[in-house]
Amino acid sequence: MSPSDSLKTLQAKMTEYMEEPGVKLGWLMDRKQQKVYIYRLGMTTECLENPDSVSGESVLPGFVLNMSKIW
């Protein structure tokens, strides 16, 4: 998310992306608010506030993104 992006616009885009065939997991990172919105196929969006890391769950087993590199 760049400084000029609108959170609501990007959330709408992420919802659209999740409807694409084969998409199972998406992350929207709001660096300004230090929040990560997690989009999962067939589930409601989860919001993590200032997480230390984000995992790839069963979609990317073993993948962990250290958020200190993002914030």
Element (H, E) at 7: helix 7-17
Q: What percent of the chain has pLDDT over 70?
A: 100
Residue 1 located in a structural domain:
no
pTM value? 0.90
Give me the number of domains the chain comprises: 1
The per-residue pLDDT for 46 is 98
Residue 41 located in a structural domain:
yes
Strand 46-49 to strand 53-55: parallel, antiparallel, or no bridges (unpaired)? unpaired
Residue 2 located in a structural domain:
no
Q: What percent of the chain has pLDDT over 90?
A: 86
**Enclosing domain of residue 41:** 7-69
